[in-house]
Chains A and B, each alone.
Chain A
Amino acid sequence: MIANILDGIVLGLQFGLLAAGLTLVYGLGGVLNLAYGQMAVTSATIMVLAMDAGIPTWPAVGLGLLAGGLLGLLLDLTILRPVYRLRGEARVLLSLLLTLGVSFIVDGFLNWRYPLKALSLHIGGGAVEILGVPMRRGSLVASAITLVTFVGLFVFFQRTSLGRAVRSVIEDEEGARLVGIDPNRMLRLILVLSGALAALVAVTRAMVSPVDVQSGLSITVFALIVTVVGGLGNVAGALLAGIILGIVNVVAADLIGSYISLIILLGAAAVTILIRPAGLLGVKE
């Protein structure tokens, strides 16, 4: 049981990190980015190409993170311009459809040009024992990176004035505008951050299992589910929902079997949405 829960937490941290970038963009801009997984996969492919070109692993990873941020910036500067002109549900719907188009373009291109590329990052060394359970070193490094990232995000949002400005836009866009904060600049910043987070998702996943060019859709879908369960726009909610769903998934997989565990995971998400549409940590509007 302890082994299951530890595995669940490792998986859950991954889920949480998946959702963080998506939930921020949604909370801040009402933009549901269905090309999120494709951003991760594109960054992963850039890392692989860089390594193939002879660049050492860690500089290549850095390059990939940078590329992720640039992808976010690119989205903000191009396809999302007309989206920002809309409000409310129409904005969410248009952003969803346009980024769906982007995800098709990216998926189609990567499958055509680099069908066999996959990113895997091997962390050397044997298993490490935690509470009597041997854990893979790759999973532990990935979890540590995730935890550090979340601490960084919390510090950014709670302690820095820039982070507070972003939060003020999430809470009340008009109010923020009145005190001199430009919501569009904050949104651009968050899209860059979201792109870098997507690239980081690819990095941490690659430490556990290879990230191939076909995994974009599944990354997006899981990010979406965790985001919704955690409460749209809520980073802490994303972490909590990720860990809960991770544990649910691993325990269900151990007790019942793999495909039913996926259904249980999906069912848990659906039930949460139906009982608490605002998400676990969401505030009712």
Chain B
Amino acid sequence: MSDRLTGGTGTSQIGGTEARSSRSLPVLLIPIAAVGAALALIPLWLGDSRVLMGVAVLGLAFACYTIGFNVIFGSTGQLFLCTGALAGIGGYGAAILADTVGLPIVVSILVATLVATFTGGLLSFVAVRRSLGVIFTGIVTLIFSLSFEALVFGLSHLTGGDTGRLIDSGTDSFLRDRIPPYYLMLALLLVFLLVHGLLRRSHMGWAFRALRDDELAAELAGVDVARYRVYAALIGAAMLGLAGSTYAFTEGRISPTTFGFGEVDVVVLVMLAFGGIGTLFGPIVGAVTFTIVDEILIEFGQLRQVAYGILIIALFLWMPRGVIPTVVSLWHRLRGLEGSSAAKSTDSAAENLKSVSGESQSAE
């Protein structure tokens, strides 16, 4: 949906997808660079406070998680309720490999990411093979999340159980400084954005859109639906594992709540739903918004959860497509109504609305 945000006016809707992929690289790179530049300025503003920088790093980590979840759920409609668990495999895995086994930090991050990638791919493979629908995929991955949580509590000599585990590796490096971790996570985020953006323009992006809009039609047109679902899960899980392990090293301490279902999965779902499921920049909008909202609500303690509940309900009742797509299509409609020669532009606004809702139909 980035093309619509960056001024794609829906000139030729029929050839819309074609136009999208043949467009030159700058159309993709410029907005990503703009996001990067804007986020790079944040330390100038919050850099004095260790606490606030910590919040900002966590916000970036959540943006990364949301992109990973978006690649899996937004692109191919697989409801993976194990975002936290896959990130946790990365986080706990890397911490154990670095501290207990004694591998270098970079190697342990890579190995843990590989394990998370493989796990995500396996879950998707099983779900695809058994042709589980959205709900059953959700339940199976939820069961996986709970098993992971039980394992974290159970293997307390490795994970520190309830109280969590301190990570010794990297203690005196830039990873625990005040500002460098922020730029590390930001770099990761920009890479993820770029990967997702390129993915959308590649043949894989075509396949994703086709199978999400109409699975049967895609299958009939020769798209190997099963294979592309697994691809999406592999890429998304790799992002989750990488983000989780990197975050673990910058934080220096991980506990079950760092990667818990309620603390990660639910929040990621809300962030993505807010920003717009399946969109390129929606995860950033959602993550930034909710990181700020969370900071504002922090003094309300338990009532913060009430606020989250109300937000979830309001969001899915009135803007099931996400706030950004809703605002964009509203803007298009207003512009369409304003134009006095109207007929043509109204048409294109209507087309736009249709294509927006078409794109998110299966995601709902």
Contacts and interface: CB of A to CB of B under 8 A. Distances in A.
Contacts of A101: 308-313, 316
Interface in A206-260: 217, 221, 224-225, 228, 257-260
Given A94-B316, A97-B312, A112 B302 contact: yes
Contacts of B316: 94, 97-98, 101
A124 to B, nearest CB: 35
B14 interface: no
A102 B139 contact: no
B130 interface: yes
Contact of B306 (A79, A109, A228): A109
A115 B311 CA distance: 23
Interface in B287-312: 301-312
B170 to A, nearest CB: 29
Nearest to B154: A259
Interface stretch (B34-42, B140-148, B200-208): B140-148
Contacts of B320: 94
A61 interface: no
A248 to B, nearest CB: 14
A92 B135 contact: yes
B76 to A, nearest CB: 15
B228 interface: no
A112 B313 contact: no
Interface string A64-105: 000000000000000100100000011011101110111111
B154 A104 contact: no
A42 to B, nearest CB: 14
B262 interface: yes
B302 A274 contact: no
A105 B309 contact: yes
Interface residues of B, number: 41
Contact of B317 (A96, A98, A263): A98
Contact of A262 (B135, B139, B150): B150
B309 A270 contact: no
B46 interface: no
A192 B336 CA distance: 47
Contacts of B147: 262-263, 266-267
Given A217-B262, A221-B146, A259-B151, A104 B309 contact: yes
24 contacts: A89-B135, A93-B364, A94-B316, A97-B273, A98-B313, A98-B317, A100-B266, A100-B312, A101-B310, A101-B311, A103-B309, A105-B306, A105-B313, A108-B306, A109-B303, A111-B302, A224-B142, A228-B139, A258-B154, A259-B153, A260-B154, A273-B132, A273-B143, A274-B132
Interface of A: 32, 79, 82, 89-90, 92-94, 96-98, 100-109, 111-112, 115, 217, 221, 224-225, 228, 257-260, 262-263, 266-267, 269-270, 273-274, 277
Interface of B: 79, 126, 130, 132-136, 138-140, 142-144, 146-147, 150-151, 153-154, 262, 266, 269, 273, 301-313, 316-317, 320, 364
Given A96-B135, A105-B313, 18 more contacts: A32-B135, A82-B317, A89-B133, A90-B364, A93-B364, A97-B312, A100-B312, A104-B306, A104-B308, A104-B309, A107-B309, A112-B301, A259-B150, A259-B151, A263-B147, A273-B136, A273-B140, A274-B140
